[in-house]
Amino acid sequence: MKKQLLFIIPRLCIGGAEKSLISLLRLLDYSAYDVDLLLFRKEGEFLADVPKQVSITDAGEEYIRFDGSAVQYIKGCIKKLRISDIINRTVYSKAVGSGDYAKSWSCLKKTMTAPKKHYDTAIAYLEDTATYYCADCVSADKKIAYVHCDYRKLVNRPDFDREYYKKFDRIVTISDECLASLAEVFPEYKDKLTVIENITSEKTVKHFAEKPIDDFEADGAKKILTVGRLAPPKGHDMAVEAAKILSDKGYDFKWFALGSGDLEQQIKEQVKSLGLEDKFILLGAKANPYPYFDGCDIYVQTSYSEGKSIAIDEAKIFAKPIVCTSFPTVYDQLTDGKTALLAEINAESIAEKIEILLNDDSLCKALSENLKKEKAGNEEEIDKFYQLPECKI
């Protein structure tokens, strides 16, 4: 008899955890598992990539309305005299603004539809609301929580999350450094912790890299690439500052950034204010970034923090010279001077490392050759998932 699994994630927009989940779902043995995927909203660039064997559900229409415009939701409630719902949405907005996770989740939970089905194992594939929903709203024999970040970087969360992780049989994270982070914050749960890396398939990545693109021309200039959400942890502010330093020194380059997010307008304004419109180009989110990896000269990751960067693993598959900031978990992926140049977490150091590569073709070649010697892709990580007691057939 097949094992009944439920995966939970808010949506399938472009992001590391979302891409990791798609990779896992594409590798799963559907002769052994029946799989449902609960998205809070059925949306996102990766939605079309969900295997046809997976049944997709959502958190219900009430949640979708509630999680949209507060003004529109409250107007609708006023028309129907839904006073308690008006109060709930008002309290929710205040709780989100003040960082009161307990109160905001209490309000949000009231709007969400619980699955009618009972599962053998339910898997919250992202921290925060997916975890809380799995713990409070899902009926399952076993429950697994995924953590895709360096937990020490989350503030004001441990006390609330501690009570929720108590409800899970296992906590999966994506690197040894992330595991150490969780063990430091939650030593009482160290026996629940397991590492399963984000899965990257070399075959799949290189297949999609063959797709044509028409927005990556540089007229002979060096092409620098950065891939990631336009969100505070990714450090695009430092990238733009580093581009300014290089531009002022007269280097001929175009720095392309793939991604979208809350900081998009802020980054656009920063680029304009520094006169870098022709040097730092925002291309938006791309469901298929692989032709850009394949076509760039240097890959740069400017993050303040990461769990385990899928973008770095993808750049490694293409054996591109890499400059990366020295956030704690980077040492699980890169070796300074051998497979990358690691910079301090500031614009000056990032620019300095890029400048070294712009001036030293032999070093670029050496970094690339070292990357080619490393194993590319890690599809075998799916076997670790199969061996989890909560998932084992």
**Average pLDDT of span 192-202:** 91
In the block, residue with structure tokens 């939650």: 186
Q: Which regions of the chain does DSSP assign to beta strands (E)?
A: 3-9, 33-39, 55-58, 119-124, 140-147, 170-173, 193-195, 222-227, 253-258, 280-284, 298-301, 322-325, 341-343
The residues, any chain, with a CB within 8 Å of residue 385's CB and separated by 6 or more, are 24, 196, 391
Residue of 207, 177, 204 whose CA lies nearest to 193: 177
Q: What share of the chain is helix, strand, coil (3-state, %, to 5)?
A: 45, 20, 35
* Closest-CA residue to 123 (of 384, 379, 391, 325): 391
Strands 298-301 and 222-227: parallel
Where do the structural domains in the chain lie, given as residue ranges? 3-60+112-199+380-387, 205-373
Q: Which class would CATH give 205-373?
A: alpha beta
Q: How far is residue 236's CA from residue 82's CA, in Å, rounded to a whole number?
A: 43
3-state secondary structure of 380: coil
Question: Coil, helix or strand for 311?
Answer: helix
* Phi, psi values for residue 324, rounded to 5°: -145, 145
Residue 125 to residue 18: CA distance in whole angstroms: 9
Alpha-carbon gap, residue 335 to 172, rounded angstroms: 25
Rounded CA gap, 334 and 313, in Å? 9
pLDDT for 153 equals 77
Tell me what pLDDT residue 375 has.
81
In this prediction, residue 349 carries a pLDDT of 98
The pLDDT assigned to 155 comes to: 65
Residue 359 to residue 362: CA distance in whole angstroms: 9
Most confident of the following: 39-53, 59-73, 242-256? 242-256
Residues 168/192, Cβ–Cβ less than 8 Å? yes
Q: For the packed helices 70-79 and 83-98, what is the interaxial angle rounded to 10 degrees?
A: 160
Q: For the residues 245-250, what does the mean pLDDT come to?
A: 97
Q: Which residue has the tokens 């770095």?
A: 312
Buried/exposed code over 167-184 (b: 16+ C-beta within 10 A; e: otherwise): ebbbbbbbbebbbbbbbe
Average pLDDT, the chain: 93
Q: Are 291 and 212 in contact (CB under 8 A)?
A: yes
Residue 103 Ramachandran class (φ > 0 left, ψ -120 to 50 alpha, else beta):
alpha
Residue 168 has pLDDT above 90, yes or no: yes
pTM for this entry: 0.79
- Give residue 370's identity as a one-letter amino acid code: N
Tokens of 302: 């400017």
Beta-carbon contacts of residue 220 (< 8 Å; ≥ 6 apart)? 252
Percentage of the chain exceeding pLDDT 90: 75
**Is residue 65 helix, strand or coil?**
helix
At 102-121, the pLDDT tens digits run 999 999 999 999 999 999 99
Identify the residue whose tokens are 């979302």: 18
Which CATH topology does 3-60+112-199+380-387 take? Answer: Rossmann fold (3.40.50)
Q: What percent of the chain has pLDDT over 70?
A: 99
Q: Is 205-373 in the same CATH topology as 3-60+112-199+380-387?
A: yes
271-305 pLDDT, tens digit per residue, is 999 999 999 999 999 888 999 999 999 999 999 98
What residues are paired with 39 via a beta bridge? 9, 58
* Distance from C-alpha of 17 to C-alpha of 9, rounded to nearest angstrom: 9
Spatial distance between the Cα atoms of 162 and 101, rounded to a whole number of angstroms: 12
- The answer to whether 267 and 237 are in contact (CB under 8 A) is yes
Which DSSP symbol is given to 87? H
Report the length, in residues, of the chain.
393
Which stretch of 167-176, 287-296, 370-379 has the lowest confidence by average pLDDT? 370-379
**What is d(CA 251, CA 355) in angstroms, rounded to the nearest whole number?**
8
pLDDT at position 99: 86
